[in-house]
Chain A
Amino acid sequence: MSYVVPIGPYHPALEEPVHARLYTSGEEITDAEVFIGYNHRGIEKLAMQRNFIQTIVLVERVCGICSHSHALTYALALESIAKTKVPKRGQYIRVIVAELERLHSHYLWLGIALHIIGHDSLFMHTWDDREAIMDILEEITGNRVNYGMVIPGGSRRDIDDDKRRHILEMLDKIEESMKRLRDILLTDKTVALRTQGVGVLTTEDAIRIGAIGPHARASNLKIDVRKDSPYCCYDDFDFDVAVWNSCDVFARVVIRVLENFESIKIIRQALENLPAGPINLGVRIPKIPAGEYMFRHEAPRGQLCYKVVTDGSEFNKRVSIHVPTFRNAPTVPTMLRGNSVADAGLIIASIDPCFSCMDR
């Protein structure tokens, strides 16, 4: 018997609004379609009515998870138009916050994935570990989300020596805990049974559809903006781009665990080698000439694009935002085909979607 099973836009298995139509034959999904746009907030239009400093505050609210990534990419686009040279200490602090954000985002997704497969004890352990990262972010920025750390020309707040030492101590503890979590995730039977061979996206399909970020790297595609087009001094740091070749939901779990270790490596290097000097060029509305630039940043979920057009005034002429989910969501129908309806929620979640981000 064939049925069309609608999921969403509002559904208990979805954290955010999206609509998927599953075409099924019995329990098996034969085809699927995805529809977006349920959380459109007109942010790009609002950005055209605000000056550059106000826009930083606005774009931080595109996403509650990767808020720093949005502010950072927007600021990088402006600085590129103005050919501004940001002080190195400011750039290192931007990298530290960006990597802490990646850590907490990956932990968040791991927790959600474990909750979806019914492994609630490990879900709680994961989110308990995440709290330590949130504490560090709060210590540095004063906030758990929307950190307000980026301004055009640098970072807003400094990291003093006491904080630096304390964060390094905290990172040691987080890393120890992460090793334990890694060992459980790689050997646990429940995780293996629910994720291995589920929601496969082959390397060829990932290239064809244009998947990016950890989602692409879990399909054995070695792409990472931090390595491919370095910015913010990322080329000062020694880190690896993790890839995994099983191309299924399990690979997406493993990739995020491996990337957490790389992020800790980067944060440690940045803190130990934090250059002396100013953190920014002064807090004021910057003078940006007429121009346009598209800047890309490796956000926790993948490549985040900001295209900014300016006309020489203190307002944006145009801000266009495209988030990683916009590139990864088209892979969902391909991953769903041939799987059971029961796995649909997990497969949709496996791209680490941020639909509100995407709808902007």
Chain B
Amino acid sequence: MQNYKKIPITKDEVVPIAEKMRAEGVTLAMIHGFLNDQGLPNISYEYQVEEGIDSYTVDGEKVLPSISGIYDLAAEWPERELMELIDVTFEGVDTSKRLFMPESMLSGQGQIFVTPMDELIRKTQSKEEN
């Protein structure tokens, strides 16, 4: 069975850990992100260490340093996707062009896709009434 280990870190540790992993030839399996119970980003850097995954997780930070300078496009695409879908910024990532969302919907507005349907209907109805 594949092992999975969650390791909480601070935003200052993101780059040093990425540099260490890169130097050791460790693969960045993915960067995952979602909003925690307080509505703040929870970002996990999933490194493939031997047969398992070490998940270095930063919780509650809206601004993080980019590791695309270390892991190139393997990090840049997940970072750009997360920036467009949730309210998090990876410093140093080019946001002049969209990756995932329409060009008119940059800056973390992807939350429209995670708004409950009944709330969207309510918003639309109140707009129509006005």
**Which residue numbers of A lie inside 8 Å of B, CB to CB?**
33, 35-37, 40, 42, 45, 80, 208-210, 228-231, 292-296, 303, 305, 307, 309, 318, 320, 322, 326-327, 329-331, 359
Assess whether B32 is in contact with A209, with CB atoms less than 8 Å apart.
no
- Measured between C-beta atoms, what is the minimum distance from B115 to chain A in Å? 9
SS class of chain B's interface: helix, strand, loop or mixed?
A: mixed
For A79, give the chain B residue with the smallest CB separation.
B1
Assess whether B71 is in contact with A210, with CB atoms less than 8 Å apart.
yes
Chain B contacts of A359 at CB under 8 A?
100
For A334, give the chain B residue with the smallest CB separation.
B73
Check A320/B32 contact, CB under 8 A, given A37-B101, A80-B4, A294-B55: yes
Assess whether A293 is in contact with B4, with CB atoms less than 8 Å apart.
yes
Assess whether A231 is in contact with B1, with CB atoms less than 8 Å apart.
yes
For B105, give the chain A residue with the smallest CB separation.
A37
- Measured between C-beta atoms, what is the minimum distance from A307 to chain B in Å? 5
Question: Is the CB of B52 closer than 8 A to any CB of chain A?
Answer: yes
Check A330/B77 contact, CB under 8 A, given A33-B97, A37-B99, A210-B71: yes
The 3 closest A-B pairs by CB, nearest first: A210-B74, A37-B100, A330-B73
For A359, give the chain B residue with the smallest CB separation.
B100
- Point out the residue from B29, B71, B74, B101 that lies within 8 Å of A296, measured CB to CB: B29
Question: Is the CB of B53 closer than 8 A to any CB of chain A?
Answer: yes
Chain B contacts of A35 at CB under 8 A?
97-99
Chain A contacts of B99 at CB under 8 A?
35-37
Interface residues of B in 45-101 (CB under 8 A from A): 46, 48, 51-53, 55, 71-74, 76-78, 81, 97-101
- Measured between C-beta atoms, what is the minimum distance from B2 to chain A in Å? 5
Which of B33, B51, B77, B113 neighbours the largest number of chain A CB atoms within 10 Å of its CB? B77
Chain A contacts of B14 at CB under 8 A?
none
A330 to B29, CA, bound (A): 15
Query: Could you give 12 example pairs across A and B, Cβ below 8 Å?
Result: A35-B97, A36-B99, A37-B100, A37-B102, A208-B74, A210-B72, A210-B74, A228-B48, A293-B4, A309-B34, A318-B34, A322-B30
Assess whether B100 is in contact with A303, with CB atoms less than 8 Å apart.
no
A230 to B50, CA, bound (A): 11
How many chain B residues touch A (CB < 8 A): the figure is 34
Interface residues of B in 1-42 (CB under 8 A from A): 1-2, 4, 6, 27-30, 32-34
For B75, give the chain A residue with the smallest CB separation.
A210
Chain A contacts of B113 at CB under 8 A?
40, 42, 45
Chain A contacts of B114 at CB under 8 A?
42, 45
SS class of chain A's interface: helix, strand, loop or mixed?
A: mixed
A284 to B56, CA, bound (A): 34
- Measured between C-beta atoms, what is the minimum distance from A3 to chain B in Å? 19
Chain B contacts of A229 at CB under 8 A?
2, 48, 51-52
- Measured between C-beta atoms, what is the minimum distance from A302 to chain B in Å? 12
Chain A contacts of B73 at CB under 8 A?
208-210, 330-331
Assess whether A80 is in contact with B1, with CB atoms less than 8 Å apart.
yes
A293 to B2, CA, bound (A): 10
A40 to B84, CA, bound (A): 13
A35 to B99, CA, bound (A): 5
- Measured between C-beta atoms, what is the minimum distance from A327 to chain B in Å? 7
- Point out the residue from B2, B29, B53, B100 that lies within 8 Å of A36, measured CB to CB: B100
A73 to B74, CA, bound (A): 21
- Measured between C-beta atoms, what is the minimum distance from B54 to chain A in Å? 10
- Point out the residue from B2, B28, B29, B102 that lies within 8 Å of A231, measured CB to CB: B2
